[in-house]
Amino acid sequence: GQETLRENPGTPGQYAGATLLGVPGRTYTLRVETSGTAYVATSTLPAPVVPFDRLSTQLSPVGNNNIQAVANYTDPPGTGNSYLFRQYRNGRLNSTIFVQNDQFNDGKHVTQVLRSMGGPSNDPNDLNKLVSGDSLRVEMQNIDAGVYEYFRTLNLILTTNPATATTPANPKSNFSGGILGYFSAHSKRVRAIKVP
């Protein structure tokens, strides 16, 4: 079916449907029209995300003992699974990109440490710095290969040393027309804890 998506007033830039329900294995198309030009993206909804077994924290083994989130899950057999982790500190999204595929851990139990970008900080509002007493929520999304590639290449661009980098490029998008952005049909699981 077709549905016109409306922007969610609580989260600008995110659009949601009221009646559209995802079916694993089905490919979805998003068409955006602006100023007489249409941009199209497709995304295939993967199987429901694997069980997100546990969320915990650990002290970083290097550096200044920053607290890191740790997601434990078991990847199902068969390569091609990709995951995006969203980490929220006290309800606010950490901008660090946590993306993983099963190229090296197909069918295995995975302990995924979510290492935040940034150095030491005394700023209590720094979203990259977990402290005891924080509310920590992690969303694990099962994403398709195109969305994985977008975040993988975006992460490469953001973490490349500007002094040694070539001309900046956009990440590989699943939209036509060379625009910046992505469209994702995904399933998710969420875990939340209080940081000890």
- SS3 sequence of 23-37: CCCCEEEEEEEECCE
pLDDT band at 160 (very low <50, low <70, confident <90, very high): confident
What single letter denotes the amino acid at residue 33? E
Name the token pair of 69: 């989130």
What confidence score (pLDDT) does residue 162 get?
61
Say how far apart CA 41 and CA 148 lie, in whole Å: 14
pLDDT of residue 165 exceeding 90, the answer is: no
Bridge partners of residue 32, in order along the sequence: 39
Say how far apart CA 149 and CA 31 lie, in whole Å: 20
Only one residue has tokens 């989260």, namely 11
pLDDT in tens, 96-131: 889 999 999 999 999 999 987 655 556 666 777 898
